Amino acid sequence: MQQPFTKLDRIYQVLVATYGEPENHPDGDALGGLIGTILSQHTSDSNAHRAYRQLRAAFPTWEAVRDAPVEVLAETIRCGGLAHIKAQRIQQVLHVLTVRLEGEPLTLDWLAALPLAEARAFLEALPGVGPKTAACVLLFHLGKPAMPVDTHVYRVSKRLGLIGARVTPEQAHEFYDALVPPERIYPLHVNLIRHGRQVCHAQRPSCESCVFRMECAYSTAMPLRAGGSHT
Of 99, 128, 122, whose CA–CA distance to 110 is shortest? 122
Say if residue 18 is in the same domain as residue 57. Answer: no
Hey, which residues does 230 pair with through a beta bridge?
224
Q: Does residue 112 lie in a domain region?
A: yes
**d(Cα 134, Cα 121) in Å, to the nearest integer?**
9
pLDDT above 70 covers what percent of the chain?
A: 94
Q: Does residue 116 lie in a domain region?
A: yes
Say if residue 153 is in the same domain as residue 186. Answer: yes
Catalytic residue selected from 7, 132, 144, 158:
132
Q: Does residue 223 lie in a domain region?
A: no
Q: Does residue 218 lie in a domain region?
A: no
Q: Does residue 226 lie in a domain region?
A: no
Domain count along the chain = 2
pLDDT tens per residue, range 97-140 = 999 999 899 999 999 999 999 999 999 999 989 999 999 999 99
**Which of 104, 123, 142 is the last residue before a domain boundary?**
142
Q: Does residue 59 lie in a domain region?
A: yes
Domain that holds residue 156: 4-23+147-209
Say if residue 153 is in the same domain as residue 52. Answer: no
CATH code of residue 175:
1.10.1670.10
Say if residue 118 is in the same domain as residue 52. Answer: yes
pLDDT tens per residue, range 6-21 = 999 999 999 999 999 9
pLDDT tens per residue, range 176-203 = 999 999 999 999 999 999 999 999 999 9
Q: Does residue 184 lie in a domain region?
A: yes
Quote the pTM value: 0.89
Say if residue 109 is in the same domain as residue 151. Answer: no
Instruction: Quote the distance between the C-alpha of residue 184 and its chain's center.
Output: 16
Burial 202-224 (b: 16+ CB within 10 A, else e): eeebebeebebbeebebbeeeee
Say if residue 159 is in the same domain as residue 118. Answer: no
For the question of residue 132 being annotated catalytic, the response is yes
Say if residue 58 is in the same domain as residue 114. Answer: yes
What pLDDT, on the 0 to 100 scale, is given for residue 230? 45
Of 159, 154, 180, 189, whose CA–CA distance to 169 is shortest? 154
Q: What are the angstrom distances between the C-alpha of 147 and each of 109, 165, 187?
A: 19, 19, 10
Say if residue 97 is in the same domain as residue 75. Answer: yes
CATH code of residue 79:
1.10.340.30
Q: Does residue 130 lie in a domain region?
A: yes
Say if residue 107 is in the same domain as residue 203. Answer: no
pLDDT tens per residue, range 150-175 = 999 999 999 999 999 899 999 999 99
Say if residue 137 is in the same domain as residue 189. Answer: no
Say if residue 137 is in the same domain as residue 152. Answer: no
